[in-house]
Each structure stands twice: as C-alpha cells, then as structure tokens.
Amino acid sequence: MAEFYMALRAQRASEIFASDPDLLTRFSELNHTGRADILVPGKPYLTSCGPNDAFIAGQMSAMPLAVQQRIAQTHSHYEDYTLPIAQTIDEHIKPVMERVELYGLPAVAATMALAAEQSSALQKALIKYQIALEDLHQANLDKRGISGARARGAHNPIISAKEAVVRQTHTELLQRFQAQLQRYAALNKASKTKNTLANVKRSIDVANNGRNMHGSTSGSQRTANSLQVSTSQQVVALNNYARYSRILGNGTIVIDAGFRVNKVVGAHNSGADATRVAITEGAGFAASVGTGMVVGKVAVSIGIKLALGPVGWVLLIGAGLYAGYSFSKTTDEFAKEYFGTKYDQMTRMRR
C-alpha cells in the first residue's frame, strides 16, 4: 500500500525532516524532488517503500496538478472516505448520469427495468429518485400555469403526494449510497499492508494531527493529509472522480462537469453566446477552492441528493444533504451570477 503526504499549504521538506537529514534524503529520492525544498500544496509525495509503491506513485504523479489538488481537497473534508467516495461515483453514479444525459431519463429507466441484473441497487435507487423529482418538478410547473386560487389549490394534494414519493425514494438512495461507501471502505481496509519509511510518521505528526484546520497556531492548524492507495484501479477511480467533480467551500462535492461541457457546445451550435456560457459555467470551478472542517470518518455522516440548477440536475454529496428537494442558492450559483454580470458589462463596453 502506497502512502502519500499531501500538504494543504506550501511547506519546506527540510523543516518537516529537520531532525533526520537521512530521512530527508530518502524522501527526496523517492519523490525525485532533487534540490526542490518546497512541497506544492495538494501534490502527493510518497512516504512508503513497499514493492509496488513506486509504480503507484508514478501513476499518481502523472495526474495534472489540478486533479491532484482536488483529491487533496476532498481528503481534507472526508479523510478515509475519499477513496470510497471516488470509487462509488466512478463505478456507480457517473455511468448513470452519462446515460441519462445521452439518452434521456425515460429511456434509461426502461432499459434498467428490462436488464435489472446489470444495474446495481444504488443505480436503480438513483433513477427512481430522479424520476420522483422530475414528477414533482412538473407538478409544480403545472400548478404555476393555472390561473385562479381555487384551481391552483386543487393541485396541493397532488404535490403533497409527490413530495412523499420524493422523500421515500431519497431515503432509499441515501441508504444504498452509504452502504456502498461502507462496502468500499471495508474492502480498501482489508487490502492495506503498510511499509512506511522508518520514523517518517514521527516527522510529520505535527502536520497530520492538528484538530482545527483554521487554527492560527502550529499546534492547532492542520497542514497536511495522508492518503493511502493500494492498487492501480484505485488510482484510476481517484483520477476519474477528480476530473468530473469539484468541491464547494463547505465541502460539498458537485458532480455536473458533463452537463457544463454540453451546455457550452449546445450554446455554440444554437448561435448563442458560447463565450459567456463558458465563463459563467466555468466560474463554479474557480469558486470551489476553499477548505473546510472534516465531516467525519463514518459513512452515515455523508449525504447525497440531486438539485436542479441552471443547466440541469446535478448531484451533490456532502454532510447534511438529507433534504430531497431544494432550490437554495449555492456558492457556485452566486459565482456564476457574478461572472455572468461581469461578462455582460465587459461586452457592453466593447460596443
């Protein structure tokens, strides 16, 4: 099992290993840092020396820095559940989202019903939940299109019934999601065999064991994380996850990169201002660089839901996401609104 040290801010390796120059030399050799003393925030640095660790480290190092940093940022919030989250999203959630985007929700639901054995319980629960949300959303749209208070009031029992279905399907989705996280966590734990560099743990304990990530003193400020990876398949899952997700400042993971790309292409093909779409849709990624408090090391603290955004349904994963139906503004939506306004101002000045 390869173990990686990921600084959350710029650090000097010479300071971390100040009490053991030989260990500093070995650390530099393992990571091919040469005379470079500054550790790049978010970049994984190998701190173990197992038979396959160098190969795993090569795969991790081949990732773009932005991908590495997104993994580090996820780990700062979810610790031991970073890898289970990545595996669950990569193997169960993203394939369903891609199929829905390509073929539409009704077609995917019908296909999954005909070939039920080929879909996981989590995937079925996700489709059922999205269908329930679509029905509720359409019922609300129908109510808004009706004139007269009495006629609109007649729709309230319909909406209440559909809200109950949303709550029921969301509860099932939450249970399936957390069960899958626990399954991956157990499998990953069983595969761990540690070969850490001698005394490396003592050298980096101060960085790893801080209690308050926002503390102002060296004893209270968390400055790094340690990520453990055992196989190439786990590296692939982490890489795929980080490429199509992003993190809001409160630690919420947003899975909607595919929707964003297609939104820009669609605007270009229809003659709309694709540049503006690209700027506003991309702004969400820039607004997601903050780090927050760790939510905990148990799957039950991690929630999941779908939310209707300006592009379409997006998946949210994080602490406290137990409400099944919400239109509240997120950090990302504020960023898109701000950058969209700025772009409009710039284009008006050019005319």
Buried-exposed string 10-23: b where 16+ CB fall within 10 A, e elsewhere: ebebeebbeebeeb
pLDDT(207) > 80: no
What does the pLDDT look like over 21-64, one tens digit per residue?
888 888 888 888 877 788 888 899 988 888 889 999 999 999 99
Q: Give the whole-angstrom CA distance, residue 63 versus residue 161.
A: 47
56 closest CA partner among 197, 227, 241, 185: 227
For residue 256, the Cα-to-chain-centroid distance in whole angstroms is 10
State the maximum Cα–Cα separation within the chain, in Å, rounded to a whole number.
81
* Torsion sign across C-alpha atoms 336, 337, 338, 344: positive
Domain boundaries, the chain: 2-350
User: Binning pLDDT at 50, 70 and 90, where does residue 220 land?
Assistant: very low
* pTM for the model: 0.73
Query: Looking at 275-279, 312-316, 341-345, which range is the least confident one?
Result: 275-279
pLDDT band of residue 261 (cuts 50, 70, 90) is: very low
Mean pLDDT check: name the lowest of 20-29, 122-131, 215-224, 243-252: 215-224
Of residues 343 and 166, the one with the higher pLDDT is 166
Asked if the model's pLDDT at residue 85 lies above 60, the reply is yes
| CA-only gyration radius of the chain, Å | 23
Between strands 313-319 and 302-308, the pairing is antiparallel
